[in-house]
Amino acid sequence: MSPALPRTPSFRLDGRRALVTGGGRGLGVAIAAALAQAGAEVVVAARSGDEVEAVAAAIRAEGGRASALAFDVTDIAAAAHAVDSQPRFDILVNNAGGNRPGPFLQATPQDYDWLMSLNVKASFFLSQAVAQRLVAEESPGSIIMISSQMGHVGAANRAMYCASKHAIEGLVKAMAVELGPRGIRVNAIAPTFIETPMTKPYFENPDFRAETLGKIKLGRLGIAQDLMGAVVYLASDASALVTGASLRIDGGWTAE
């Protein structure tokens, strides 16, 4: 008698609502598209209303469900209000972030405060707002932080950025421990350098480009599509037992 074969858990996200910050450009566009293509209703958020509306319109043009929401993630009260004004989000992708690379010896308190506010504080409190709603409605959920390979290693001229991403990696673990009993999973995606409008100026320096490619074992920079499958996986039932994890999409950078 043939054994009954197990069925692969679904990667589909039909019936779920997702919030993607930093959704107006770069990785945010790819993340929003991936979730919509998997069936989620996606709310694309950023400070620029025109940009996120254009992304939402493009998703709708392909038959997906999407809307735009303009707010500044560093305005904690405004971000909480934006979450409270919407139906529950089952999925949150904290993608908004930034960097101001430079020598450690020349770092300023102003740059430090800006970077930590955007990369850490905003993600902390937006996650809190989404999780509070999930707990109140006794609903499971998936919170995904876009971290970095720099959350696992150090690098010259990136002391503040490394500090912020190491903080995110620790936050993911702590949130996973605390929210796990509530059915809320928390994970990170830690990519290597991805070709986006934000990173393009760095790679106009041939020495920096050569040094970077020398550390990526697969020999190429990342592209936005490299993250799309990972986001869907961590948002879906296919990763039902995954929490407190960091999925490194780094081409082997951190393998040695």
11 belongs to a structural domain: no
Q: How far apart are CA 250 and CA 254, in angstroms?
A: 7
Beta partners for residue 69, in sequence order = 45
4 belongs to a structural domain: no
| pLDDT in the model for residue 2 | 83
Instruction: Give the C-alpha distances (Å, rounded to integers) separating 235 from 47, 55, 142.
Output: 24, 20, 6
CATH of the domain at 194: 3.40.50.720
> Pairing mode, if any, of strands 141-146 and 65-70?
unpaired
The string over 52-77, giving b where at least 16 C-beta atoms fall within 10 Å of a residue's C-beta and e elsewhere, is bbbbbebbeeeebebbbbbbebbebe
Instruction: Please give the tally of structural domains in the chain.
Output: 1
Residue 198 has pLDDT above 80, yes or no: no
Enumerate the H helices of the chain as residue ranges. 26-37, 49-61, 76-84, 109-116, 122-136, 159-179, 206-215, 225-235
Q: pTM of the full predicted structure?
A: 0.96
| pLDDT in the model for residue 1 | 79
Q: What is the pLDDT of residues 146-161, one digit of tens each?
A: 999 999 999 999 999 9
State which residues form the domain around 238.
17-255
Percent of the chain past pLDDT 70, that is, above it, reads 100
Mean pLDDT estimate for the chain:
96
Q: How far apart are CA 102 and CA 184, in angstroms?
A: 37
Q: What is the pLDDT of residues 124-141, one digit of tens each?
A: 999 999 999 999 999 999
35 belongs to a structural domain: yes
Mean pLDDT of 158-167: 98
Mean pLDDT of 155-180: 98
With 0-12 / 13-18 / 19 or more C-beta atoms within 10 angstroms meaning exposed / middle / buried, residue 89 is buried
234 belongs to a structural domain: yes
pLDDT band at residue 162, thresholds of 50, 70 and 90? very high
3 belongs to a structural domain: no
Instruction: Identify the DSSP state of 86.
Output: S
Tokens of 186: 């928390």
| pLDDT in the model for residue 199 | 81
Active site residues: 161, 165
Contact between 238 and 12 (Cβ < 8 Å): no
Three-class SS of 198-244: CCHHHHHCHHHHHHHHHHCCCCCCECCHHHHHHHHHHHCHHHCCCCC
Residue 118 has pLDDT above 80, yes or no: yes
Residue with tokens 């979730």: 35
198 belongs to a structural domain: yes
Q: What is the pLDDT of residues 19-42, one digit of tens each?
A: 999 999 999 999 999 999 999 999
181 belongs to a structural domain: yes
38 belongs to a structural domain: yes
Q: What is the pLDDT of residues 41-92, one digit of tens each?
A: 999 999 988 999 999 999 999 999 999 999 999 999 999 999 999 999 999 9
Mean pLDDT of 158-175: 98
Residue 197 has pLDDT above 80, yes or no: no
| pLDDT in the model for residue 243 | 98
